[in-house]
Amino acid sequence: MSTSFEVINPATGEPFTAVPEAGTVELDAAAAAATRAGRAWRALPHAERQQLVLALVATVRAHLDELALLLTREQGKPVGRARGEIESGLRYCESFAAMALPVEVVRDDTDERVEIRRVPVGVVGAITAWNYPLLLALWKIGPALVAGNTVIVKPSPYTPVATLRLGELARSVLPAGVLQVLAGGDDLGRALTAHPAINKISFTGSERTGKAIMASAAPTLKRLTLELGGNDAGIVLDDADPAAIAADLYWAALSNCGQVCAGLKRLYVPERLASAIEEALAAVAATIVVGDGTRDYVDMGPVQNEPQLRRVRSLTAAAEQAGAQVYFRGEAPDGPGYFHPVTLVRNATEEMAVVAQEQFGPVLPILTYRDIDDAVARANASDLGLGASVWSGDEGRAVEVAERMEAGTVWVNQHPMLSPDVPFGGVKQSGLGVESSLHGLLGYTDISVLRIKR
């Protein structure tokens, strides 16, 4: 590799390392290696691939501390959360490694036997965002490999370090070319999505990039899984107990410094309960310590990158100018890192960008409603539909409202809860296809029908 680029630690605002930058030459070589390796990999018995994926899991787990520290230094999240991210990703891989690819027998009679089989798609390009670099990569690597594909991962240029280390570790466990990691910017992503030797793109990132990928993948008709942005609404019903739900609401919105695709990003509360909920949320927010994620007393790290920090600040400032009120602003170090205080905003409206767009930062706008039909209509008035939630002491009432919410997942009294055995994906412009569960695994396969005449 001829060039390299620097990676910034968001807690200091300074570069802490440099990584090799892949260009089209390296991409061509990786794609050729992945294609070659794929022939033997797809021919392995399923059980052997499962064992090799479990061996990869064991190797990564043996390097958990090292990887977690790298993740904190490039992403910003507290080390304990970084460990949690990796452990979670490994549990997803273990879950995929326990799955078989179903063979469906449509008929088997004296005339004909017909089977629907699942075959690998070929080479998968996995492109990830900067909020959960290793979790997102493992969500894609696990099912892609188990299903018999080979994989080239392209992490975000903001957070390539831990993923590159994962690629190194994989080389000691998997046959050459089965899993490769290439670091580079958006141009490398564009080249990957247009490359004729790549058969599928599994992408996690913004809606805008997802649409560009769909266009770029069209000439070669690549298979696509797109996990895009969300602007998830949560509706609190008028029977909820503010004190009882405040901590869960807080973390639903503000874990990972608010940088969660399916985080709660717009909170609708009944007028009657608004001040009690606002106060209860502020009480939780007041306990949060913001700082460098390598310090063990820190609850929330910095925003991951400087453009995002500027964006979150400007969304908040614009909302204030338009009449919203920042009623809670927590403490945060002055910098030079990209720290942003926990910020709770009331009197927000849908006309404000902080509500209309996903903030992807530690800011929660709170909106009030009088009539539940109005709240549901406002919550659904979005092109996005990743997640949504309803909060209530009465499960039956909550489910009635939940059934009217337009989202890939609707949670009741929680948000966002993800599990390896439950599909996760968005409706509307939040994505295409799902990850996790057998549904996610099947997304890394094509159907191949076998018809035997008798």
**Residues assigned a catalytic role:** 227, 261
User: Between β-strands 232-236 and 387-391, what pairing exists: parallel, antiparallel or unpaired?
Assistant: parallel
Binding-site size for ligand NAD (CB under 6 A) equals: 28
212 near ligand NAD, rule: CB under 6 A: yes
Look up residue 156 and give its amino acid.
Answer: S
**What are the CA-CA distances from residue 247 to residues 277, 285, 302, 391 (Å)?**
11, 9, 21, 12
204 near ligand NAD, rule: CB under 6 A: yes
- Pick the closer one to ligand NAD by CB: 113 or 311: 311
- Pick the closer one to ligand NAD by CB: 352 or 386: 386
137 near ligand NAD, rule: CB under 6 A: no
Q: What is the widest separation between alpha-carbon atoms in the chain?
A: 78
358 near ligand NAD, rule: CB under 6 A: yes
Query: Min. distance of Cβ 96 from ligand NAD in angstroms?
Result: 17
In the region spanning residues 312 to 341, those forming contacts with ligand NAD, defined by CB under 6 A, are: none
Binding segment for ligand NAD (CB under 6 A), chosen from 40-48, 60-68, 163-171, 205-213, is 205-213
Out of 142, 143, 205, 291, the only residue in the binding site for ligand NAD (CB under 6 A) is 205
Query: Min. distance of Cβ 330 from ligand NAD in angstroms?
Result: 23
232 near ligand NAD, rule: CB under 6 A: no
Out of 78, 157, 302, 443, the only residue in the binding site for ligand NAD (CB under 6 A) is 157
In the region spanning residues 361 to 380, those forming contacts with ligand NAD, defined by CB under 6 A, are: none
304: tokens are 């991951």
Q: Is the peptide bond before 416 cis (omega within 30 degrees of 0)?
A: yes
Q: Specify burial of residue 275 (Cβ count, 10 A radius: 0-12, 13-18, 19+).
A: middle
Binding segment for ligand NAD (CB under 6 A), chosen from 12-20, 128-136, 266-274, 328-336, is 128-136
209 near ligand NAD, rule: CB under 6 A: yes
Q: Find where tokens 């009120």 sit.
A: 325
Out of 143, 230, 361, 440, the only residue in the binding site for ligand NAD (CB under 6 A) is 230
Q: For ligand NAD, which residue has the nearest CB?
A: 189
CB 328 within 8 A of CB 344: yes
Binding segment for ligand NAD (CB under 6 A), chosen from 79-87, 106-114, 123-131, 143-151, is 123-131
Q: Is the dihedral of CA 205, 209, 211, 214 positive or negative?
A: negative
142 near ligand NAD, rule: CB under 6 A: no
String of b and e for 120-145 (b: at least 16 CB within 10 Å)? bbbbbbbbbbbbbbbbbbbbbbbbbb
131 near ligand NAD, rule: CB under 6 A: yes
Return d(Cα 307, Cα 284) in angstroms, integer: 28
386 near ligand NAD, rule: CB under 6 A: yes
- Pick the closer one to ligand NAD by CB: 276 or 417: 417
- Residue 251 makes CB contacts below 8 A (sequence gap 6+) with none
Out of 63, 91, 190, 439, the only residue in the binding site for ligand NAD (CB under 6 A) is 190
Return d(Cα 126, Cα 444) in angstroms, integer: 11
Provide the β-strand partners of residue 8: 15
Binding segment for ligand NAD (CB under 6 A), chosen from 8-16, 37-45, 126-134, 249-257, is 126-134
Query: Min. distance of Cβ 119 from ligand NAD in angstroms?
Result: 26
- Residue 208 makes CB contacts below 8 A (sequence gap 6+) with none
- Pick the closer one to ligand NAD by CB: 130 or 328: 130
Return d(Cα 124, Cα 237) in angstroms, integer: 43
String of b and e for 202-215 (b: at least 16 CB within 10 Å)? bbbbebebbebbbe
DSSP secondary structure of 387-402: EEEEE-S-HHHHHHHH
Binding segment for ligand NAD (CB under 6 A), chosen from 127-135, 171-179, 247-255, 278-286, is 127-135
Q: Of 172, 194, 164, nearest to 4 (Cα)?
A: 164
Binding segment for ligand NAD (CB under 6 A), chosen from 184-192, 235-243, 268-276, 314-322, is 184-192
Residue ranges in contact with ligand NAD by CB under 6 A:
127-131, 154, 156-157, 185-186, 189-190, 193, 204-206, 209, 212-213, 227-230, 261, 358, 360, 386, 431
